[in-house]
Amino acid sequence: MTNDLYAVVGNPISHSKSPRIHSLFASETGEPVEYTAIQAPRDDFAGTVKQFFERGGKGLNVTVPFKEEAWKLADRRTERAENAGAANTLYLDGDGVLVADNTDGCGIVRDLLINHGVTLNAARILVLGAGGAVRGVLGPILAEHPGAITIANRTVAKAEALVELFTPVAGETRLSACGFEQPSEPFDLIINGTSASLQGDLPPLSPKVIAEKTVVYDMMYSLQTTTFNRWALEQGAQIVHDGLGMLVEQAAESFRIWRGVSPATGPVIDELRND
Ligand code: ATR
């Protein structure tokens, strides 16, 4: 039996852990899946996608910088992709229609709830950043009914725009926007969705946002403690997590969409942690 072909598309792509994660899922589940990495030219994402599916490819993951383009390219979007304004998963439905989904939000929620036992219901959450990464996860986080979400960003207008966008699906959750310096009370959960650490920066937060029980979650992932989590530990945080679990969980949800089988994620997270 020949394997079904899947791939992750990005630029650059050589660092991507997706081929390794999906190969581990394939071995674990026995699904006949072959998963590669494709570097698309920055000006021809659409052509790369078209060629992949014409060659019989079954599904794509999409990463930086093409997630918004993937969203635009699709003929149909799931509700969570619609809210996210970006797509990380593409496939053709039975009629050959290109469908876009976004599994990032599902990934962070499962990592928090299942892998780390963090309660989101009624929680007071501080979200740092208001770019694509944050927009991608707000819908699924809101679906867990937190008490309040404060979105803090360097450019406050972008945080305000997200509050406006998500208010219709926020239900009882109080949504607010501010700059980084403003919050001065402890939160139950702080999620860093900024890319500040890529420039060697930290969001200029008050240490008062951290209490002993505050859970700190950096959507970034690195083999060492991330820059943001190091800062949080220095301020007295006791519980910090990075985004490795989110990475594996979002991949597992894509795998489930494509194959109808949910792989176990724990062994894969452990394996990557030991790389
Ligand atoms: P991504 O897809 O990773 O979310 P993005 O859409 O470019 O990328 O968003 C990056 C986020 O990190 C934004 O919230 C950005 O703040 P601005 O909206 O003010 O640009 C934030 N960010 C990037 N560099 C930062 C820095 N050096 N300090 C603080 N925040 C930063």
List active site positions. Answer: 67
Q: Each residue of 228-257: pLDDT tens digit?
A: 999 999 999 999 999 999 999 999 999 999
Q: How far apart are CA 69 and CA 81, in angstroms?
A: 12
Q: Each residue of 161-174: pLDDT tens digit?
A: 999 999 999 999 99
Determine the average pLDDT of the residues in 112-135: 97
Interface ipTM: 0.98
Determine the average pLDDT of the residues in 197-206: 94
Closest residue to atom 18 of ligand 1, CA basis: 155
pLDDT band (50, 70, 90) for residue 126: very high
Distance 26 CA to ligand 1 centre (A): 34
Ligand 1 touching residue 203 (CB < 6 A): yes
What element of type H or E holds 162?
Answer: helix 156-166
48 marked among binding-site residues: no
Cβ atoms of 113 and 143 within 8 Å: the answer is no
Closest residue to atom 30 of ligand 1, CA basis: 196
Q: What share of the chain is helix, strand, coil (3-state, %, to 5)?
A: 40, 20, 40
The mean predicted confidence, pLDDT, of the chain is 97
Q: What is the pTM of this model?
A: 0.96
Q: How far apart are CA 20 and CA 28, in angstroms?
A: 12
Cβ atoms of 166 and 138 within 8 Å: the answer is yes
Ligand 1 touching residue 199 (CB < 6 A): yes
Q: How far apart are CA 217 and CA 232, in angstroms?
A: 10
130 marked among binding-site residues: yes
Cβ atoms of 56 and 5 within 8 Å: the answer is yes
Ligand 1 touching residue 237 (CB < 6 A): no
What domains lie within the chain, and their CATH numbers? 4-102 (3.40.50.10860), 105-244 (3.40.50.720)
Q: 267 vs 31, 118, 137, 189, 274, CA distance in Å? A: 17, 20, 24, 26, 11
Ligand 1 touching residue 194 (CB < 6 A): yes
Please determine, for residue 1, whether its predicted confidence score (pLDDT) is greater than 90.
no
155 marked among binding-site residues: yes
